[in-house]
Chains A and B, each alone.
Chain A
Amino acid sequence: MKTTDSLSFQEKYERDHRRHHRMVLLARTFILIIFLLLWEGSTRMGYVDSFFFSSPSQVLMCFLGMVKDYSFFTNTGITLLETIASFLLVLLISMLSATLLWHSQKCSEILEPYLVVLNSLPKSALAPLFIVWLGTGINTIIVAGISVAVFGSVINLYTGFRQADEEKIKLIYTLGGNKRDAFFKVVLPGSVPTILSNMKVNIGLALVGVIIGEFLAARRGLGYLIIYGSQVFRLNMVITSVIILCVIAMGLYEGIQMLERCYQNRL
């Protein structure tokens, strides 16, 4: 085995790097364990009322109950489906809209104030309207999910497209290309980092929109479980659903990050 003195600078750097990562991971786990222990301990010792605040053991029992009666799979499945559908539709709509805006300077100037206003509007205010227009059900929830993310996404993507290197676009024209070539050869491939970071924001926003929709217009889904649980004071169910939501949000974000890493590795 090598002693500390015999390690090369590179080996020392690698060892310190590994140590640093281990320390970060340990600290994260430690914080979670301390939080769970404090939560469990304080409810068992009566400092906190477990009826209102639940406890890790009750959450676990509730989760196992949900798995046993399959309600975990149906409700999580439907929320996931709605979120992914909203996310993909947001991606499609915003890509098409941003392309149109990039193509027509006049069109973008005309529509700019409308986009800014719609983006600033609290989208939860629109949810009751969607229920009146579309009724209750999956369509309304997907539209609610889309409404939260789509306007900001269009603005971000359009801004990204506009920042494409003018000289590279000129190069396309010097090679005999036209505006279509400029878009597909320069603007779109050059905007992949913007599209990926936009996707990371959108997946979270789509989940927010879907939960708002489920609060108001669903009979299934994690949003429905949260609102139903709070109405009948089954706070174990509420907190379990919130924790499942956290895990879903983390998983979806990680999925997009993997996509981003794949892209970076290709470069």
Chain B
Amino acid sequence: MDQPLLELKDICYSYHSLEGETIALSHISFQIQKGEFTAIVGPSGCGKSTLLSIIAGLIAPESGEIIFHGDSPPQAAQQPCTLTPSCPRIGYMLQHDHLFEWRTIYQNVILGLEINHMLTPERLGRVTQLLKDYDLYKFRDKKPGELSGGMKQRAALIRTLVLEPELLLLDEPFSALDYQTRLSVSSDICSIIRSTGKTALLITHDLSEAISLAGRILVLSKRPATVKCDIPVRLTLTDDSPLASRNAPEFKDYFNQLWKEISDENHRQPEFSGKI
């Protein structure tokens, strides 16, 4: 088997306050192969976003190891609640597009290049190409307020893609959109990710979205989160677009299986949360 793109070994993380310690993640281990589209689902507040922040290198785990391409990236500062710059090989898409309203779409899209001092003619040419490919070129001088939710989310994806990350972390990027836009945007973004051959890790609350987009689903338990089960998704369809996937005969079985795993978790009392 090939060397995994990303490997997490025994990742643990706790939040600290004067009220006590809250264990968010407990001994999380899994691997992600290159080109894989993996979804992570789990009960609300189980620590999914914390896990993504750790993978991105924004916060440091209390223990455990993250191995990227066989070597450990520089660890984030060991200071609670202190963000550190993300690993450049990892792209991160947040829940909202967070386009800056004082910048045009073009200026928003090149933000990452500006920060990383990578404003070369080749890269800017690639920005223009991406804007053309995803139907945003004629809106490049508009402010974000003039675009629809779906267009803004596409611009946010381009902002992440221009840095050419090897791994894309998607932290519920469609949750702020209405249902109709969400279906079409998730479909668009999935095809963009597939066409660019990126490895992606998606966090979502929407089980249907996870089944239709991902090739593999990790279910996290209630806090303190551990990997409860790892479900490979195999749908027998010739058209593997996310919208068509929802009509696959296996779709319902996967949905029921995931639903059972999540509802079991919701009925379980938290193992521990409080002062130690």
Listed in ascending order, the chain A residues whose CB lies under 8 Å from chain B are 165, 167-178, 181, 185-186, 189-190, 192, 267
Do the beta carbons of B86 and A174 come within 8 Å of each other?
Answer: yes
Residues of A within 8 A of B98 (CB): 165, 167-168, 171
Greatest chain B CB density within 10 A among A168, A174, A189 is at A174
Number of residue pairs across A and B with beta carbons under 8 Å?
60
> Do the beta carbons of A177 and B100 come within 8 Å of each other?
no
- Chain B residues, Cβ within 8 Å of A169: 83
A175 to B98, CA, bound (A): 12
A189-B58 CB under 8 A given contacts A167-B96, A176-B86, A176-B112: no
Residues of A within 8 A of B187 (CB): none
B115 at the A/B interface (Cβ < 8 Å)?
Answer: yes
Residues of B within 8 A of A (CB): 56, 58, 83-88, 91-92, 94-96, 98, 100-103, 111-112, 114-116, 143, 159-160, 163
Contact B83 A176 (CB under 8 A): no
Partner of B101, one of A177, A185, A267: A267
**B102→A175 contact, CB < 8 A:** no
A185 touches B111 (CB 8 A): yes
Considering the complex, give the chain B residue whose CB is closest to the CB of A165: B98
- Is there an interface contact between B115 and A181, defined as CB atoms closer than 8 Å? yes
Most buried by B among A176, A177, A181: A176
Kindly report which residue of chain A lies nearest to residue B169, judged by CB atoms: A174
Chain B's closest residue to A171 (CB) is B98
Determine which residue in A177, A178, A186, A190 has the highest number of CB atoms from chain B within 10 A of its CB, and name it. A177
Beta-carbon contact of B102 and A173 below 8 Å:
no
B58–A173 CB distance below 8 A:
yes
In the bound complex, CA of A120 to CA of B165 (Å): 52
For the complex with contacts A167-B95, A167-B98, 15 further pairs of A-B residues with Cβ separation under 8 Å are: A165-B98, A167-B94, A167-B96, A174-B92, A175-B92, A175-B160, A176-B85, A176-B88, A177-B85, A185-B100, A185-B111, A186-B100, A189-B102, A189-B103, A190-B102
Q: By the criterion CB–CB under 8 Å, are A174 and B100 in contact?
A: no
Q: Are the C-beta atoms of A174 and B58 separated by less than 8 Å?
A: yes
The residues of A that contact B83 with a CB separation of less than 8 Å are: 169-170, 173
Q: How far, in whole Å, are A261 and B83 apart by their CA atoms in the complex?
A: 36
Separation in Å of the A181 CB from the closest CB of chain B? 5
Knowing A167-B94, A190-B102, A267-B101 touch, does A173 contact B88 (C-beta < 8 A)?
A: no
Q: Is the Cβ of A175 less than 8 Å from the Cβ of B96?
A: no
